[in-house]
Structure 1
């Protein structure tokens, strides 16, 4: 067993980090393999955070990442004293979080040779946040290791990019993801292959599909009827369904957690649940409510993005059939429906619809209401199909 076992389809990146771990040890043969500041890039689902924590575990483990010792288990549980894990569910990482990280980076490790700081969503750092971290990353304490994760180098400021060593991940092969699903969840090979393919090798999404029937039902529901849209009314109704699916997904994800956080806040302040909050403490609850709203908004946008990814895969399949490329379909279970539409849909219209999805994402990033952005996408598709 090893901490690298959960990293799928990234042999080159694993090799880089394994050499870095050996280079970090006293008397290492190749100390240049190690540096204190790293950036892991790669497409969604490629395993950026997985490999970042594997690297952290290997650095903190006395046996270079055995996967079974107390240190490795603590990293897996995100409870290791020398690990700081930052994974925001908000729209952005605020400057207060950055200042706290800089403060922690200056502290000596407690139980290990290193203190490791993993920032999972470094692309969500606003400029002020990045500038706050800049000096700590540029001139890190010898015993502190920074591991930033982002979809691409372009998602970070040039001043940050120039001070880190970049490890780029690729989309893992379908077979490798399926093998992980079989091993982790004990499912049939056929189901694992379908989940890996429909998730487009996104390990987290593939795991969600095989462990949650509701997730697969939501995916199927979002795709149903898209290729047959023929009117503005159909498009508007489908956009409403998508927006509702994304919103309900976000609310379901946070409802129970939000209530639990509220009750924990009551207890931490020595208040009984439901008790009137003293005026001097009301600001704490306002801050909590604001944070929860930001996370819910982020969850809704992420839900819309997942739907767009699924729709993009459907249009990609349509284009592959139209051009008779002969590559495997992402949505093989919908082959009949796709072939029927491919016989009459012009390739130029399908390409335009795929390009329109990128525009929707730009508008969502600019805070355009999701339903309006989705309506324009689907109305354009319906009009072009009629």
Structure 2
């Protein structure tokens, strides 16, 4: 595999937007329009954009690169203060909304919209970047809609969501945005960026890219994290391990315990420090006049922080489960392709022998039933079904208990 080295002056804000050549061309034209470039029409730029695409396609990466290019006097050089601070998430005139909990509240959205209505402090415009617009509550979406309908002349809204489906983004918001569809990056493109940007060994980068399902972030994690590789291996061993009811409960328990453990580990590194920092900011530990009153007044703020932390932990646990379910769906897709003899690349080429064994055990029909069960489990968890119930139900279906044997 050959990889191009991009360093120094060759590095622009678009360099890490992987495999999205058509989208980048459209965004470059929009940036050019803001500089009154006579080679592009003024209509190439608009005040609201909706970036859509499958998980891992780089929606937020593309949106942040676009934000940097809009603020840059040189259309996204990647070297100036504006480019570097936007990409780092510290630019004073770029408001990023990255929900850590399950939803984006109306309170948070109103605060962002109010800030975005101000004149830019250091750059050419105010930019609001919402990385998970599908997590807006109905009230938050309405608050955002009002701002998009009557935007200040110097404000740009960049929304990211999996699709334009009404369940992801309301029709009223979508109709006021220019939609930019991203595609799943090719494995070769993902491997190239892992080598160039992250310094990952070529062989490891190639393997991680080939099993990531086109998800750039997933590929990077698999390439760099031993535990992530071990977790994937455990999840993809589930289809072969399910033979009876005892296996159903054992595998369900192991998967749920892994998700809960990862969420707890993540929380331990942040929660205590956040609470201590908040209490200090509110005057905890003071001994002067009014210290007791300040301490009593801080109880509500601490309780609100604890509520947000609990929501964040729930989301983390669901995200871990969802990654496992995505891995399982990829496995059963491979089984279906193998059972039909389709000449297509496997999502899990390193498990080709396990895939062939599964195809012989329950065939394409059985694999399709299991794939439907995985997708139903994802939907159930999204609808707040208790994870234990959803996962145990899934495992019964994956075990094929009571189903006819493959013909």
Match of 2:276 among 263, 268, 285: 263
Q: Distance in 2 between matches of 1:75 and 1:90?
A: 23
**Which residue number in structure 1 is paired with residue 57 of structure 2?**
46
**Which residue number in structure 1 is paired with residue 32 of structure 2?**
22
**Which residue number in structure 2 is paired with residue 105 of structure 1?**
116
Alpha carbons 2:318, 2:381 under 8 Å: kept: yes
Q: Structure 1 regions of 5+ residues with no counterpart?
A: none
**Which residue number in structure 2 is paired with residue 333 of structure 1?**
350
Residue 19 (structure 1) shift: 0.4
> Is residue 95 of structure 1 aligned with residue 106 of structure 2?
yes
Alpha carbons 1:229, 1:385 under 8 Å: kept: no
Count residues with an aligned counterpart. Answer: 385
Residue 219 (structure 1) shift: 1.1
Alpha carbons 1:57, 1:65 under 8 Å: kept: yes
> Is residue 134 of structure 1 aligned with residue 145 of structure 2?
yes
Residue 26 (structure 1) shift: 4.2
Alpha carbons 2:359, 2:367 under 8 Å: kept: no
Alpha carbons 2:239, 2:398 under 8 Å: kept: no
Q: Distance in 1 between matches of 2:117 and 2:305?
A: 28
Q: Distance in 2 between matches of 1:339 and 1:2?
A: 44
Alpha carbons 1:360, 1:373 under 8 Å: kept: yes
Q: Structure 2 regions of 5+ residues with no counterpart?
A: 1-10
Q: Distance in 1 between matches of 2:44 and 2:37?
A: 13
- For residues 155-190 of structure 1, the C-alpha deviation after alignment (integer angstroms, 9 at most, x for no partner) is 111110110100000111111001111112222322
The SS at the match of 1:4 is coil
Query: What's the TM-score once normalised by structure 1's chain length?
Result: 0.96
228 and 27 in structure 1: CA distance in 2 versus 1, 3 angstrom threshold: closer
Alpha carbons 1:105, 1:136 under 8 Å: kept: no
> Is residue 356 of structure 1 aligned with residue 356 of structure 2?
no
- For residues 63-91 of structure 1, the C-alpha deviation after alignment (integer angstroms, 9 at most, x for no partner) is 11110111111112211111101100110
Residue 340 (structure 1) shift: 2.1
Q: Please, which moves more after superposition, 85-94 or 264-273?
A: 264-273
338 and 22 in structure 1: CA distance in 2 versus 1, 3 angstrom threshold: same
**Which residue number in structure 2 is paired with residue 374 of structure 1?**
391
Residue 272 (structure 1) shift: 3.5
In angstroms, what is the RMSD of aligned CA positions? 1.7
Residue 317 (structure 1) shift: 1.4
**Which residue number in structure 2 is paired with residue 37 of structure 1?**
48
